[in-house]
């Protein structure tokens, strides 16, 4: 400002002058001009916010906070003003208000930044009191953290405990009055303030007088006594580390939950439920190696949750560098009056963070009659090759539910010579596999309706380089698993197969009811299955039987992942 210039007097001129000074870097002059403009037009939220930002640049956070608060009061929908207000509350020690504002705004990351340390502190001081009760300072620290987290009942309990242990710390009465006010307990709030007025230090008494509005309490008004507080039951019992972990996990405070469950495990290493919860929490925190280790320990202990074993196997299948997968489907077919066996044993080598998994595979395809390549009318070769196929291949994860695979190997006859060159012949296979399930799937803990479908596109050199598309869908109802482990599932099947070469066996549709059972005592991943199907072949050249058929299939499904 030039010598002799007078500051602008109207709001618009003051604002213009403030922006000019701000652009020139004259912060003091800009602040003064913004203050004049805001004083003349308090409803202009934009001016008030610009004043607050200028105050921040000048280093005055307290006044900046007041102006952001005023801007927010004028326009509660102003998210930017709310965020700035919350940041400043946190930076100036108003942690509770910052936490509430971040929560209201739905700013989960910022809320966790404030709330996480509060939860950790509550757990730390709770554990300290559990190990060594009677520490007044621990009660006070726990109460302050609980108040900042809006856990007023817990705060009141520990402020009471702290004052009963140290009655000479009369400032604790002011804290008690504050949390009782937050709980709506006006009678107890006034009793705490009256006690602080009469028995507190001069500083505490003055603060109590201000909180009472300057009105002198009557002689007969109730005051608090240490004996009453010591006799009063706690507002909320002190939670164990396990209970704190469960609360934190339910609220998605994962770091807190992991620390609480770790403490609970130290207290009782044989608690399988705690080990399982440690695994769940570690898995959510993406500490998959640790999660697998916790699940593994949990499944070996008495009273282990039934989910521990499957959780370990599923996680290990995703994280271990090597793994073994086995599956088998032996079943009886009334249409062919024969038994069939399909199975595979596969060893995987998993490359970290790579979608491609190399593997070695040994497949088995056989039938009870041993008819091989279809020489008997009863069992054509597409159903049973009576072979063991050894191969090397790769599995590629294209999506969470979609995989591609390809393998090359040799097929070895299980019943004799297959061709003029000997017992072995080249075998090349590959394709895509997709699966999706909804609702209460078999093996889960829920009851209810379910649906699942899988589709496989398969190339097989063995069958004249044919390309086949299989689709199998099921829907029905799953009953809740009993405590002993029994579970039943009633369903309806829809199956279809088409192929490129137009083979009669490669073009078929089937539908019918089915039943699945999981029985106590059977290995995990095992189920009994029964399906009664009506089928039809749209192509029938060389078909040894009728185009339409009924088929009762009784079998076992077994799968294992390690």
**Per-residue pLDDT band at 420 (split at 50, 70, 90):** very low
Beta-strand ranges (E) seen in 479-537 are: 487-499, 508-518, 526-536
Q: Which residues of 339-355 are buried (b: 16+ CB within 10 A; e: fewer)?
A: bbbbbbebebebeeeee
What are phi and psi for residue 360, nearest 5 degrees? Answer: -115, 140
Res 237 pLDDT > 60: no
Identify any residues that bridge with 466 across adjacent strands, giving them in sequence order. 460
* First-to-final CA distance of the chain: 79
For residue 320, give both structure tokens: 């271990």
**Per-residue pLDDT band at 239 (split at 50, 70, 90):** low
Whole-number pLDDT of residue 376: 38
**Per-residue pLDDT band at 222 (split at 50, 70, 90):** confident
Res 271 pLDDT > 80: yes
Whole-number pLDDT of residue 129: 80
Whole-number pLDDT of residue 1: 42
What is the Cα–Cα distance from 562 to 557, expressed in whole angstroms? 17
Q: What is the DSSP string of 53-108?
A: HHHHHHT-HHHHHHHHHHHHHH-TT-HHHHHHHHHHHHHTT-HHHHHHHHHHHT-H
Q: Which residues contact 286 (CB under 8 A, 6 or more apart)?
A: none
**Per-residue pLDDT band at 514 (split at 50, 70, 90):** very high
List of domains in the chain: 11-93 (1.25.40.10), 114-231 (1.25.40.10), 241-319 (1.25.40.10), 322-561 (2.40.128)
**Per-residue pLDDT band at 431 (split at 50, 70, 90):** very high
User: pLDDT tens digit string along 106-123?
Assistant: 887 888 888 888 888 888
What is the Cα–Cα distance from 458 to 532, expressed in whole angstroms? 26
Is pLDDT larger for residue 137 or for residue 496? Answer: 496
Whole-number pLDDT of residue 403: 92
Res 379 pLDDT > 50: no
Res 295 pLDDT > 80: yes
User: pLDDT tens digit string along 35-68?
Assistant: 888 888 888 888 888 888 888 888 888 998 898 8
Res 338 pLDDT > 50: yes
Res 267 pLDDT > 60: yes
User: pLDDT tens digit string along 467-496?
Assistant: 999 999 999 999 988 877 799 999 999 999
Q: Which residues of 73-105 are buried (b: 16+ CB within 10 A; e: fewer)?
A: eeeeebeebbbbbbbbbbeeebbbbbbbbbbee
Whole-number pLDDT of residue 501: 92
Res 417 pLDDT > 70: no
**Per-residue pLDDT band at 7 (split at 50, 70, 90):** low
Whole-number pLDDT of residue 266: 85
Whole-number pLDDT of residue 353: 66
Is pLDDT larger for residue 230 or for residue 357? Answer: 357
Whole-number pLDDT of residue 377: 36
pTM of the entire predicted model: 0.50
């Amino acid at each position: 400002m030039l010598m002799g210039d007078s500051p602008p007097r109207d709001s618009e001129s003051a604002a213009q002058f403030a922006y000019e000074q701000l652009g020139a870097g004259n912060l003091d002059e800009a602040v003064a001009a913004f203050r004049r403009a805001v004083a003349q037009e308090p409803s202009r939220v934009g001016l008030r916010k610009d004043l607050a930002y200028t105050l921040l640049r000048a280093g005055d956070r307290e006044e900046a906070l007041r102006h952001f608060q005023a801007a927010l009061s004028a326009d509660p929908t102003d998210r930017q003003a709310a965020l700035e207000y919350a940041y400043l509350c946190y930076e100036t020690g108003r942690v509770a208000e910052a936490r509430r504002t971040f929560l209201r705004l739905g700013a989960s990351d910022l809320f966790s930044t404030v709330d996480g340390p509060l939860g950790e502190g509550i757990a730390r001081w709770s554990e300290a009191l559990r190990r060594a009760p009677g520490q007044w300072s621990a009660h006070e620290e726990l109460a302050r953290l609980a108040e900042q987290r809006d856990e007023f009942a817990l705060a009141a309990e520990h402020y009471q405990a702290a004052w009963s242990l140290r009655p000479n710390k009369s400032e604790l009465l002011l804290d008690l009055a504050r949390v009782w006010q937050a709980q709506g307990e006006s009678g107890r709030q006034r009793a705490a303030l009256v006690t602080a007025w009469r028995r507190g230090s001069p500083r505490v008494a003055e603060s109590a007088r201000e909180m009472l509005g300057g009105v002198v309490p009557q002689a007969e008004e109730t005051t608090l006594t240490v004996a009453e507080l010591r006799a009063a039951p706690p507002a909320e019992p002190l939670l164990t580390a396990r209970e704190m972990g469960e609360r934190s996990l339910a609220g998605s405070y994962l770091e807190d939950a992991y620390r609480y469950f770790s403490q609970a495990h130290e207290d009782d290493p044989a608690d399988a439920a705690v080990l399982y919860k440690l695994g769940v929490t570690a898995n959510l925190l993406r500490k998959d190696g640790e999660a697998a280790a916790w699940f593994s320990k949990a499944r070996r202990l008495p009273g282990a949750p039934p989910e521990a074993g499957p959780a370990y196997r599923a996680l290990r299948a995703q994280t271990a560098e090597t793994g073994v997968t086995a599956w088998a489907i032996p079943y009886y077919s009334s249409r062919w009056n024969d038994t069939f066996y399909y199975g595979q044993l596969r060893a995987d080598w998993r490359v970290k963070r790579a979608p491609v998994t190399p593997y070695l595979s040994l497949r088995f395809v056989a039938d009870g009659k041993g008819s091989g390549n279809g020489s008997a009318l009863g069992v054509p070769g597409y159903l049973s090759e009576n072979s063991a196929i050894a191969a090397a291949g790769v599995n590629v994860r294209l999506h969470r539910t979609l995989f591609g695979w390809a393998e090359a190997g040799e097929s070895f006859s299980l019943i004799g010579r297959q061709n003029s060159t000997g017992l072995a012949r080249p075998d090349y296979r590959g394709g895509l596999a997709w699966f999706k399930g909804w609702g209460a799937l078999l093996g889960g803990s829920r009851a209810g309706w379910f649906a699942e479908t899988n589709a496989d596109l398969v190339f097989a050199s063995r069958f004249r380089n044919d390309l086949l598309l299989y689709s199998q869908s099921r829907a029905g109802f799953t009953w809740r698993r009993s405590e002993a482990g029994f579970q039943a599932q009633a369903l309806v099947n829809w199956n279809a197969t088409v192929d490129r070469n137009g083979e009669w066996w490669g073009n078929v549709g089937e539908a019918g009811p089915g039943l699945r059972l999981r029985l106590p005592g059977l290995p995990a991943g095992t189920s009994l299955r029964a399906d009664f199907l009506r089928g039809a072949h749209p192509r029938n050249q060389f078909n040894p039987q009728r185009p339409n058929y009924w088929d009762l299939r009784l079998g076992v499904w077994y799968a294992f992942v390690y």
